[in-house]
């Protein structure tokens, strides 16, 4: 792989790999560090990497590095809820309910099986289609659908119960 090829691969896959790792590790700084490590490893092996298989190669390295991290530390996922309309004066009751909901949502996401959490966040945060997710994770579209269904069932439980 030439230097120009590697630059193109880096430009195309850096952000998707970083997001993939963030969804697995729940730490954006760690995801960036590991993403950089993925590309260092790829650079070291650039002479043996085929452009046709570079995507799966990068995701395989990223997944292995994430597994190594999981083996050494427990991760905690925290999704930040964004306020879409800051011009509205929020009542203390609303703020309390929003904070309680955010805490329950984060606990639920944290407790989802990793495979469900990754698929859910790739779809809902990155706006990837099931087919795109399947391609990135090297699984079938049916597997993506099943993982998404499990994630949605778990998340639905927090919206159906009253605080």
Q: What pLDDT sits at residue 160?
A: 67
Q: Are residues 55 and 19 in the same domain?
A: yes
Domains in the chain, number: 2
70, 118 Cβ separation under 8 angstroms? no
Tens of each residue's pLDDT in the chain, 163 residues = 888 999 999 999 999 999 989 888 878 888 999 999 999 999 999 889 888 889 989 998 998 888 777 665 444 455 555 555 554 566 777 777 777 777 777 777 777 888 888 898 888 877 889 998 998 888 899 999 999 999 888 888 766 665 4
C-alpha 156/C-alpha 163 separation (Å) is 14
36, 62 Cβ separation under 8 angstroms? no
Q: What pLDDT sits at residue 163?
A: 45
Q: What pLDDT sits at residue 71?
A: 60
Which of 18, 42, 72 terminates a domain? The answer is 72
C-alpha 138/C-alpha 152 separation (Å) is 21
143, 118 Cβ separation under 8 angstroms? no
Which domain CATH number covers 25? Answer: 1.10.1740
Q: Are residues 67 and 106 in the same domain?
A: no
Confirm whether 30 is domain-assigned.
Answer: yes
C-alpha 57/C-alpha 45 separation (Å) is 11
Confirm whether 29 is domain-assigned.
Answer: yes
Structure tokens at 158: 């927090």
Helix axes 3-25, 28-44, angle to 10 degrees: 150
Q: What pLDDT sits at residue 41?
A: 92
Confirm whether 10 is domain-assigned.
Answer: yes
Query: What element of type H or E holds 157?
Result: helix 141-160
Name the residue range of residue 113's domain.
92-160
């Amino acid at each position: 792989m030439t230097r120009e090829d590697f630059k193109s691969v880096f430009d195309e896959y850096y952000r998707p790999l970083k997001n993939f790792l963030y969804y697995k590790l729940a730490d954006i700084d760690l995801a960036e560090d590991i993403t950089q490590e993925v590309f260092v490893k790829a650079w070291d092996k650039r002479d043996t990497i085929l452009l046709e298989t570079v995507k799966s190669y990068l995701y395989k390295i990223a997944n292995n590095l994430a597994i190594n991290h999981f083996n050494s530390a427990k991760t905690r996922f925290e999704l930040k809820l964004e306020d879409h309309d800051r011009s509205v004066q929020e009542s203390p009751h609303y703020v309390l309910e929003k904070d309680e909901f955010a805490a329950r949502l984060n606990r639920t996401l944290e407790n989802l099986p990793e495979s469900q959490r990754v698929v859910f966040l790739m779809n809902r945060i990155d706006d990837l289609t099931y087919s795109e997710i399947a391609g990135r994770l090297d699984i079938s579209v049916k597997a993506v659908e099943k993982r998404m269904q499990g994630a949605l069932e778990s998340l639905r439980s927090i919206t159906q119960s009253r605080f």
